[in-house]
Amino acid sequence: VRAAMAGWARAVRGLLLDVSGVLYDSGADGGVPIAGSVEAVRRIKASGLKLRFCTNETQATRENFVKKLRGMGFDISVSEVTAPAPAACHILKERGLRPHLLVHDDLMPEFAEMDKTNPNCVVLGDAAENFTYANLNEAFRVLIGMDKPVLISLGRGRYYKETDGLKLDVGAYMKALEYACDVQAEVVGKPSKRFFESALAEMGVPPEQAIMIGDDIVNDVGGAQRCGMRALQVRTGKYRPSDEKHPDVKPDAYVNNLAEAVDIILRQL
């Protein structure tokens, strides 16, 4: 791994970190930090490298998400987090869109300032228990009533694991609405190029001087590489050995976990 990274890690000026599966594992009591990750974040900050947390989390506001992570000991603040809901708000304002929201109750405050009267688009997040038959029909009716339906999806994940089992993720519901309305959703969040570019801009680092570290071979690694970044896959979180034979995406290197990645990167500087 060190040899693989020897050539380029020296030029690095900034790191983008995925959160779930890299910093912590989600679970019944809110989750537990992954061994060595709290210290790894601290070491990145002490090193002078720029740092940005880049997450597809849409079940909580950034405030509550950060509060949970601080409770686990992470040195993280709201201003360091790039997340889909604020990115979507930016797009809505830019295009004069008034959203009909099908999102998690706990995400609603992120859209508090948006005009939601007479909606002209649908914003879909991981709504979890809000994915009811009635709510899906309502979102569908808003879309099909438009001349040109606009569907904005906060991510395109297929499923995720919680302590009580696997759950369908926002991408599955996105596909249902896409098919029913014969429309293609605009995805905000990883692996969208624009989303990574915002994170880089907020960090003030060009893609060739940044490394993405994530557990998702497609959304973290593939997405970041398409933006011109290097990307490492950690063997924690949703990583599976079969990822190492992925037909399309090959990380610049594998690391066992965030602590190992940071260790190697900092030695190169």
Residues that bind a copy of itself (CB under 8 A): 128-129, 131-133, 136-137, 140-141, 144, 158-159, 165-169, 171-173, 175-180, 182
Q: How far is the CB of 10 from a copy of itself (least distance, A)?
A: 39
Nearer to a copy of itself, 101 or 258 (CB): 101
Q: How far is the CB of 203 from a copy of itself (least distance, A)?
A: 32
Nearer to a copy of itself, 94 or 147 (CB): 147
Nearer to a copy of itself, 156 or 230 (CB): 156
Nearer to a copy of itself, 132 or 256 (CB): 132
Q: How far is the CB of 90 from a copy of itself (least distance, A)?
A: 27
Nearer to a copy of itself, 169 or 216 (CB): 169
- Write a three-state SS string for the chain: CHHHHHCCHHHCCEEEECCECCCEECCCCCCEECCCHHHHHHHHHHHCCEEEEECCCCCCCHHHHHHHHHHCCCCCCHHHEECHHHHHHHHHHHHCCCEEEECCHHHHHHHCCCCCCCCCEEEECCCHHHCCHHHHHHHHHHHHCCCCCCEEEECCCCEEEECCEEEECHHHHHHHHHHHHCCCCEEECCCCHHHHHHHHHHHCCCHHHEEEEECCHHHHHHHHHHCCCEEEEECCCCCCHHHHHCCCCCCCEEECCHHHHHHHHHHHC
Q: How far is the CB of 123 from a copy of itself (least distance, A)?
A: 18
Q: How far is the CB of 57 from a copy of itself (least distance, A)?
A: 19
Q: How far is the CB of 182 from a copy of itself (least distance, A)?
A: 8
Nearer to a copy of itself, 78 or 176 (CB): 176
